[in-house]
Amino acid sequence: MKLLKDRILKDGNALSENVLKVDSFLNHQIDAKLMKAVGEEFIERFNDTEITKVLTLESSGIAPSVMVGLQLDIPVVFGRKRQSLTLKDDLYTSQVFSFTKQETNTIAVARKFLSKEDKVLIIDDFLANGEAANALIDVVNQSGAEIVGVGIVIEKAFQSGGKILRDKGYRVESLARIESMYNGNIKFVGDDE
């Protein structure tokens, strides 16, 4: 997606070879107009599928997901990271290991918001090692719903998440795929072609 890649080049900051800071339009301040275009692009890429629900993870997955939900007129559910007061029996839960923080966190989705009749598009802001996406997939599988695919705003293609998901047979659509970030130089997959 050219609009997104241009924005990453303009306002993204490669803090290291592994970490891209995009807090001016995605992770802290949000560019709603760009998110609207991101939502339209996801819908375009999955336009051959039927989707009844969007599933994401708080907090940064919510903005792009809401744009998809708005345009398709379907609900958006986000996995919660903090403990809620709801009874545990009423929740699907899964573990997410964070490589950066070296800790495991539990995510939770209320059972009443996912059923086996649902056809779910999973969306997230970043795909790195695939831990978050795998936890969301686990939650959908517990519900018996169908996974239509995984939509990612920014995939760090040099990390293993994309390959793991695609090898498992999931359809992954990433709107910007970063090949490398050496010396602050952001290079996208396919730039040389």
Residue-wise DSSP of 118-135? -EEEEEEEEESSSHHHHH
Residue 167's Cβ-count burial label (10 Å; 0-12, 13-18, 19+) is: exposed
Number of residues in contact with ligand G4P under rule CB under 6 A:
20
> Cβ of 170: how many Cβ atoms within 10 Å?
18
Q: Which of 3, 13, 24, 27 binds ligand G4P (CB under 6 A)?
A: 27
What residues numbered 84-103 form the site for ligand G4P, per CB under 6 A?
98-101
What is the Cα–Cα distance from 5 to 184, expressed in whole angstroms?
15
Q: Is 14 annotated for ligand binding? A: no
- Cβ neighbors of 89 (< 8 A, separation 6 or more) are none
Binding mask 144-163 for ligand G4P (x = CB under 6 A): ------------x-------
Q: How far apart are CA 49 and CA 46, in angstroms?
A: 6
133 among annotated binding-site residues: no
Asked whether residue 130 is marked as a ligand-binding residue, the answer is: yes
Decide: 60 and 125 in contact? Cβ < 8 Å.
Answer: yes
Residue 59 touches which member of Na ion, ligand G4P, none, C-beta under 5-8 Å by kind: ligand G4P
**Binding of ligand G4P by 126 (CB under 6 A):** yes
- Residues in 44-83 that interact with ligand G4P by CB under 6 A: 57, 59-61
Give the separation between CA 97 and CA 131, rounded to whole angstroms.
6
Among 129, 142, 160, 180, binds ligand G4P (CB under 6 A): 129
Cβ-closest position to Na ion: 60
Name the residues that contact ligand G4P, by CB under 6 A: 19-22, 27, 57, 59-61, 98-101, 125-126, 128-129, 131-132, 156
